[in-house]
Amino acid sequence: MVEGINDHTRCIVDLRRHMWIGGIEEDLRRLIWQIAVVGKYISAKIHESNRKLAGFKNVYGEDQLALDRISDDILINMLRNSGFVREYASEELEDIVTIGHGQEKYIVTADPVDGSSLVDTNLAIGTIIGIHQNSLFDSGRNSMVAALYITYGPLITMIYSAGKGVHEFVLDREGEYVLSEENIRLKEKGAIFSPGGLRKDWTDKHLKFINKLEADGYKLRYSGGLVPDINQLIIKRGGVFTYPALRKSPRGKLRLLFELQPMAFIMEQAGGLATDGKDDILSLKVTSVNQRSPVYIGSAAEVTMAGQFLSQ
């Protein structure tokens, strides 16, 4: 528990106060706060979006909801005015964009609306943010200082880590992010698994790993949205999510900068692991904005076991 917060006052600790008490550096906590506020606007847009396709494609050739575009605009405008951000990279844009004067401390990566193909089904979706201090073309381990994600589900929740543990906040009816879980730590081993990709496209080694989880009685939990799927592991304190190398796409599907680095940062801070099957996601050097990687992320026992199966 953060020093100075006792059980009695805990229910009224909001995000700003939590970061202040936790000793997060001022510019960083103001930046995290502003991004969390953008989550409220994105949530409003989700409600307004009426599930209509905008009719254009993003840089990966996927249909892009107007919602993705609007959310990206809201985020970049806020960051441009924040005074803390010199560069911005988003899944919706082709390149890194300079938005500051060059002296600002941070670079932000964003997947403004991850899981947008789920909007019409009314399943949970999310926003994923990475905050870097150095260059994006480095490893996450060398450049990341914080990460957060917002889950738009029946409740809107925000999980952040600025390198001092993992903390969850719930957006309350007054529009305040209120602390709900502090210093979340995964167990060594969980009970659920979320396997991405089609079984027919998996490698034999990956298939053996999944067969082992099934034989051991792990329960299948896969929504098709990275944010709710990772959030489930964090809140349930363990298990494993994987989007592996596929026979036709050895780099898997998920994007290193926008999806995997932020989730790996949070997962490690919660005592879990995130690898590409061999190396830590955070130790992979980024060479392209669009870089993808296979991923095994979750509690230590399952991610370590995945590595053992893949190295056989």
Minimum distance of ligand AFP from residue 302's CB (angstroms): 17
Nearer to ligand AFP, 117 or 304 (CB): 117
Nearer to ligand AFP, 180 or 275 (CB): 275
Nearer to ligand AFP, 150 or 179 (CB): 150
Nearer to ligand AFP, 66 or 118 (CB): 118
φ, ψ at 244 (rounded to 5°) = -85, 175
Q: In a 3-state reduction of DSSP, which class is residue 170?
A: strand
Residue whose C-alpha is closest to residue 71's, from 47, 32, 42:
42
Nearer to ligand AFP, 139 or 232 (CB): 232
Cα–Cα distance for residue pair 164/2, rounded to 1 Å: 10
- Cβ(128)–Cβ(278) under 8 Å? no
Minimum distance of ligand AFP from residue 292's CB (angstroms): 10
Contacting positions for ligand AFP (CB under 6 A): 62, 114-118, 196, 224-226, 229, 253-254
Minimum distance of ligand AFP from residue 84's CB (angstroms): 27
Cα distances (Å, whole numbers) of residue 219 to 9, 143, 222, 248, 301: 37, 35, 10, 27, 16
Residue whose C-alpha is closest to residue 99's, from 88, 109, 110:
88
Nearer to ligand AFP, 160 or 243 (CB): 243
Nearer to ligand AFP, 115 or 140 (CB): 115
Tokens describing residue 119: 């909007």
Minimum distance of ligand AFP from residue 260's CB (angstroms): 10
- Per the listing, tokens 């959030």 go with 231
Minimum distance of ligand AFP from residue 246's CB (angstroms): 10
The runs of H, that is alpha helices, within the chain are 7-10, 15-21, 26-48, 66-82, 140-143, 204-215, 226-235, 261-269, 300-311
Residue whose C-alpha is closest to residue 146's, from 235, 249, 33, 225:
33
Minimum distance of ligand AFP from residue 259's CB (angstroms): 6
Minimum distance of ligand AFP from residue 33's CB (angstroms): 25
